[in-house]
Amino acid sequence: MKLKIFLFLIIVGFLAKVNAQSVGISDNGNPPFAGAILDVQSNTKGLLFPRMSTAQRNAIVNVTTGLMVYDTTLNQV
């Protein structure tokens, strides 16, 4: 029984290590930067943030630091 638990923990640890990789989205085929969880690269396109009115933005509960939303009422991020 202890051997089964030990092997299970080894497998879970291995899967956690394998799963901790970067995700890259690019139009030039470059691999993602290893120090980033998400790496978006393009020389011809931009990043589109969620868009909502000031009232919709203010209705978000449990806002976390760094949340980015484009406010269509004020025309600003």
Q: What DSSP designation does 44 have? A: S
In the chain the first and final C-alpha atoms are separated, in Å, by 56
Domain identity same for 32 and 1: yes
> Do 53 and 76 meet the contact criterion of CB atoms below 8 Å apart?
no
15-33 pLDDT tens trace: 555 555 789 988 888 889 8
Domain identity same for 4 and 33: yes
Q: What is the DSSP string of 49-72?
A: --EE-HHHHHT-SS--TT---EET
Domain count across the chain: 2
- Share above pLDDT 90 across residues of the chain, in percent, rounded to a whole number: 42
Domain identity same for 20 and 56: no
Domain identity same for 30 and 59: no
Domain identity same for 12 and 39: yes
The pLDDT of residue 4 is above 70: no
36-66 pLDDT tens trace: 999 999 999 998 999 999 999 999 999 999 9
Q: What is the CA radius of gyration of the chain?
A: 20
Domain identity same for 39 and 9: yes
